[in-house]
Amino acid sequence: GKSQPVDPETLFQAASLSKPVTALAVMRLVEQGRLKLDTDVNEYLTSWKLPDDLRANGQKVTLRMLLSHTAGISVHGFIGYRAGARLPNLIEVLDGRSPANSAPIRIENTPGEETNYSGGGTTIAQQLLIDVQGTAFLNVLAQLVLEPCSMQRSTFEQPLPTAWTGNAAQAHLNGRAVPGGWFVYPEMAAAGLWTTPSDVASFLLTLSRALDGESTVVEQATVEQMMTPVKLANGQPGQFGVGPVVRGEGEGLHVWHNGGNVGFQCYAVLYPRLGKGAVVMTNSSTGMRCVDEILASIAENYEWPDDDYRSRQRRSAQLTPEQLEPLVGNYEIEGNKTPVQIKAQDGRLSFQMLQRPAEQFVPASEVAFFSLTSEKELRFETDAAGNRQGVVSADGKDLFRILRRSQD
């Protein structure tokens, strides 16, 4: 909403990148003998207990499960609170009591059976760290992770202290600055970290050095556990290690995590065997489009071994007005007849449904287009009768088809 540029010192909300940072704090206490990964979390919780549930089928919830999203815990994520709103304390968040705006955090599936992403589970870990260490969560994380990893421009304090706000990125929704600057997240372990890309990179490099046996912060065996997929009850590996998502093996081994709070989107990835990686942070609700392009360019130029990142790049094509003209017109969504208008504008297609703001689609070819502000793609097909139709998709799945209106 303003012209002040970001710089290397600008703070961003890390959103779910907070989770692997929290996981390292837990793992350092495991090293110290203060915690065990496979002990029932209720043995450590004192201020609050995770209620038992018949859906647990007699299985106990452990820290290893919470940090690998295999605990069967509810509440996928948190929407935050507007600046100035009354904030819940952590117990109110855990129990879903007013003024909390999220559901109670409870067991909803048998612990250990499947991967079920849960910010609620990480919030239980937040309360556990407070109870075990006897101090505020932000102090625990500063002592165990932020300071040892040289994350000097990072804090878990919520709301962000005034001393830090002068160079904090403003959140943006649909191209407009969020009133009050940003939302507040008392669910600190799951979503509350304020940081810079450089600080997140310092965190990742600490893990990389530890894996090579060259870190004074954390032991090699500890990081090996964090970067090994946690096995499910059926013996198959889950998607997460103790903290990050884990993919590949050998030099292709890489760990990553993304994040999305209101008006912020970010991504961090590390190839620990190669010492390569990247951190991209944006202050926009549609920032992943930018993130994908940047990661694709980095992967190509720095020769990352995983084609997944290179494939994210969307290469645009230049089309003339004459090439775009056959696609212009009035359409309707198949099945519900919602009107859609497509216009040609500056070499792109403008796609408008009802009175909603028009969405701009950039050509990748004469019949394929991608959105500048979402994950949607638009492609055109011709049926057996020669009628042109459009298909809107996202993440490889068709969402709906648009047909020419009869008056065209």
Cβ–Cβ under 8 Å, residues 195 and 157: no
41, 19, 12: which is closest to 245 by C-alpha?
19
Mean pLDDT within 51-70: 94
Mean pLDDT within 222-240: 95
Mean pLDDT within 82-87: 96
295, 240, 294, 249: which is closest to 271 by C-alpha?
249
User: For the chain, what's the residue count?
Assistant: 408
Among the ranges given (221-235, 308-322, 344-358), the one the predictor scored with the smallest mean pLDDT: 308-322
Q: Which two tokens stand for residue 187?
A: 């669910």
Mean pLDDT within 346-375: 87
210, 33, 60, 241: which is closest to 132 by C-alpha?
33
405, 326, 402: which is closest to 366 by C-alpha?
326
What CA–CA distance (Å, rounded) separates 117 from 75? 8
pLDDT tier at 288, thresholds 50, 70, 90: confident
339, 400, 2, 16: which is closest to 193 by C-alpha?
16
Cβ–Cβ under 8 Å, residues 117 and 76: yes
pLDDT the model gives residue 295? 93
Using the predicted structure, report yes or no on whether residue 145 has a pLDDT greater than 90: yes
Taking the CA atoms of residue 176, residue 177, residue 178 and residue 182 in that order, the dihedral angle to the nearest 10 degrees is: 140
pLDDT tier at 263, thresholds 50, 70, 90: very high
pLDDT the model gives residue 407? 55
pTM over 0.95: no
